Amino acid sequence: MKFNGNAMRAAIGVIGAALTALALVSCGGGQAVEKFVPTRILAFGDESSFMDANGLKYSVNAKADGTIDCKANPIWVQGLAAAYGLVFPQCNPDAVAAPASQILATVDATSGNVKDQIDLFVTNGGSFGGKDLATVLAGARDILDQYALIKAGTTTEAQAIPILEQAGTALAAQVNRIGLAGGKVLIATVPDMGLTPFAVNAGTTDAALLTRLTSLFNSKLRVGLINDGHMTGLLLIDEMVQNIVKNPGSGGFGAVDKAVCAVALPNCTTATLVPDLLNPDGTLKFAANGETWLWSDDTRLSAGGQRSMGSVAVSRAQGNPF
């Protein structure tokens, strides 16, 4: 192809302008994109995001020399906070002055309880700013409650469907509420309840039911979110769990269908785990370990599961155009 002199000069001019603009941006002469760095984490939801005043978590608590080390075996919101040099008041062994981050999650919270948590936060003078990163994870209790009613014969799966769909939609509305108020939000889907030790023990039919109920909730949650990556980041924790169960070795896991805790949460520690899992011939199959077993109890993730979830959260927070 041949260019005449005018066309060639025009083309060179366009290229030159583009290179100049690129140079300006690389040298700070253009408008740079500011990397989002939150100044506090606000954790809403259920016990998956909860620590009590003693630093106990609904997972496998690390214990050394007879005392709880709340900094070890972090839950997912701790891992997220640590990525930004932040801590929560419930676990501040290094005595960071006046931690701004807050755990507002409560034990056994439903999706409806998240609204209550946000209402209370606002009533107490809280507000959401551009440097706030809120996390939301709830819905497991909604799913398990509906499953229990189905098994008791007081409701049917068909009747449970609209209830869980409404619960997912309502939770999405609270996520949108935070984002529209000025905060940034990481919203996590509910882990597949059909892959929990509880579901495994209940049998394949019930496990399939729990998976369907989880999918219904998560689908409505996702559809109800305002699709704006500048204020919301979606964590596909249901898919994370499914992938770990399908390929446990790739995530460093051994046992993915059994609970590792021998006592009820939150009192489970590295000193109160079940015996090692043995092969039929008595040789070791999987050593009992809160990092390499996926579940702490029948429905809640272990320290390793929480670690994986935290990694997903950090990646999303740093990759989203907040």
Q: Which of 277, 264, 163, 263 is nearest to 220 (CA)?
A: 163
The verdict on whether omega for the bond into residue 197 sits within 30 degrees of 0, i.e. cis, is no
Encode pLDDT of 108-159 as tens digits.
999 999 999 999 999 999 999 999 999 999 999 999 999 999 999 999 999 9
Percent of the chain at pLDDT > 90 equals: 87
Q: How confident is the model at residue 250 (pLDDT cuts 50, 70, 90)?
A: confident
Q: What is the CA radius of gyration of the chain?
A: 23
252 CB-near residues (< 8 Å, 6+ apart): 291, 292, 304
pLDDT confidence tier of residue 33, bands split at 50, 70 and 90: low
- Whether 151 contacts 199, CB under 8 Å: no
Query: Among positive and negative, which fits the CA dihedral 193, 198, 200, 205?
Result: negative
pTM for the complete prediction? Answer: 0.89
Report yes or no: 196 and 299 within 8 Å, Cβ to Cβ.
yes
Residues 6+ apart with CB under 8 A from 214: 143, 190, 191, 192, 193, 194, 238
**Token code pair at residue 69:** 């080390």
Residue 232's CB is within 10 A of a number of other CB atoms, namely 23
Assigned token pair, 30: 């253009």
In whole angstroms, give the CA distance from residue 14 to residue 10: 6
**pLDDT confidence tier of residue 32, bands split at 50, 70 and 90:** low
Nearest to 61 by CA among 259, 266, 286, 304: 266
- Write the DSSP assignment of 8-20 as a string of letters: HHHHHHHHHHHHH
Contact by Cβ (8 Å): 305, 72: no
User: Regarding beta strands 67-68 and 63-64, do their DSSP bridges make them parallel or antiparallel, or are they unpaired?
Assistant: antiparallel
| Position 253 pLDDT exceeds 50 | yes
What pLDDT does residue 8 have? Answer: 39
Exposed, middle or buried: residue 148 (CB in 10 Å: 0-12, 13-18, 19+)?
A: exposed
